[in-house]
Amino acid sequence: MEKIPPTTFGGDLSSLWRLDTLPPLRRLSWWWWWWLIVLPDAENPKRSRQLMVLWSTKDAPHVRVNEHDWKPEGRFHIDEDGRHTLPGMVCAWWYDGKDMHEPYLMRELRIAAMDGQHPDWPGSGDFPGSGAVIPVSEDDLSMGLADDGSHFWLRCKGDDSAVEKGAPRSFDLKITPWTKAASSAAYSNNVFGNNMGYDIIRLHACKCQGMVDEDSVQGSAYFQKVTVQAPSIPWFWGFLHFSDGTYLDWFIPHASFSMTARDSRAWKLRDIARAPLKTAGLLHDEKRGRSERFERCEVELLPPESDGDCDSRGELLPRFSIRVWNGRTQVGLKVRASNRAHWKFDQPTRAGLVSHLTYNEYPLEVESLTILDEKGVRTLDDFDWVHGNAEHAWGLLH
């Protein structure tokens, strides 16, 4: 029997619209809200169409984002009731199952963020965590959580240059809870020293419905709200959404020779050797009715096949072999990237040097999957669909 989804989002969402949980550090502090929308692809069910939207600011005098010179003017301001106004950017990419529209949206805007308890909030603010991020723009590029906690809204419009190349003009989406485990906010906070650290809220899996131009769509969604203030080092990360509401992710930040990379070329010999600084994974297993954390994780970056897929720039795309396990459950899978979106960050630092980070996002096609536990084995055949996204970043931004 199909489980009834919760009516509201769970967990602690009280700091969802605040960026002052850690004192800012010049050149290191980075804040963002990030949605990744996953929609089925009727033409190729093994793949998915995906939309990424990011509302972000950085405490830095100058950052080059791809080919855009961004010079945030002033630090963000917080009024006595907690409303934030900040110099920011709204960025997005859209993968339609064949072509990657990158950027779909890239605009430098003033951004306001407030919760439902602010005197200027137009609603009741009854649900703890209600509020919104509202860029100051003629177009509606907002995202927020309704007063009753039942849904988020997400609206964005593409830049003319992307629409002229075949991307949709607009998205108007409603995001609702899926399962209690995956749609409850997961909060993590850690301070390493000298105020360096991170503060993160995640919603691992939600349902999504709405309109893409005039087309009605349904799919799933993943959310992060992040404060990070430490040098950005290389990492592997990714997640999968399963048709029954199961969720899986993996994460390996690592030290490697790729920290010295200065460009965004997809393949380098320096990617071969790496030393994991941490390994972690998470499985919200809907069939077993339990959540499992993994401290053991392996990610192997497989070279592209000679006849493999290429991204929109003609570069061959990677494959990944991933394994997470603990004393009760192990998960192994192989995935291939169906396209690539990447963001280049170049930030001037001390002594006239420029630090660099290349951040890659890969819509995935799952080639094989095995979930083994004390109750048996499951494979891809046990699910109607499995869709997700992987990240691989290199460089050292500081």
CB-CB contact of 157 with 167 (8 Å): no
Q: How far is CA 152 from the centre of its chain?
A: 16
Bridge-based pairing of strands 170-177 and 196-212 is antiparallel
Sign of CA dihedral 177, 179, 180, 183: negative
* pTM attached to this predicted model: 0.94
The pLDDT assigned to 261 comes to 66
Q: 170 forms bridges with which residues in the sheet?
A: 157
Spatial distance between the Cα atoms of 329 and 343, rounded to a whole number of angstroms: 35
Alpha-helical segments (H) within the chain: 160-164
Which amino acid type is present at position 89? M
The pLDDT assigned to 192 comes to 64
The pLDDT assigned to 135 comes to 97
Q: How far is CA 178 from the centre of its chain?
A: 18
CA distances (Å), 130 to each of 4, 5, 112, 143, 190, in order? Answer: 23, 19, 14, 11, 25
Q: pLDDT tens per residue, the chain (398 residues)?
A: 567 889 999 999 999 999 988 877 776 777 899 999 999 999 999 999 999 999 998 887 777 788 878 777 656 789 999 999 999 999 999 999 999 999 999 999 999 999 999 999 999 999 999 999 999 999 999 999 999 999 999 999 999 999 999 999 999 999 999 999 999 999 988 776 667 778 899 999 999 999 999 999 999 999 999 988 877 788 899 999 999 999 999 999 887 766 666 666 665 555 666 788 889 999 999 999 999 999 999 999 887 776 667 777 777 888 999 999 999 999 999 999 999 998 887 887 766 677 778 889 999 999 999 999 999 999 999 999 999 999 998 887 76
The pLDDT assigned to 299 comes to 94
Which domains, ranges and CATH numbers included, belong to the chain? 1-230 (no CATH), 231-398 (2.40.370)
CA distances (Å), 177 to each of 39, 126, 129, 253, in order? Answer: 16, 18, 14, 29
Structure tokens, 218? 């349904």
* DSSP labels, 306-335: TT--B-TTSPBPPEEEEEEE-SS-EEEEEE
Phi-psi region of 42 (alpha: psi -120 to 50; beta: other; left: phi over 0): alpha
The pLDDT assigned to 290 comes to 97
CB-CB contact of 133 with 83 (8 Å): no
Spatial distance between the Cα atoms of 336 and 320, rounded to a whole number of angstroms: 6
The pLDDT assigned to 268 comes to 57
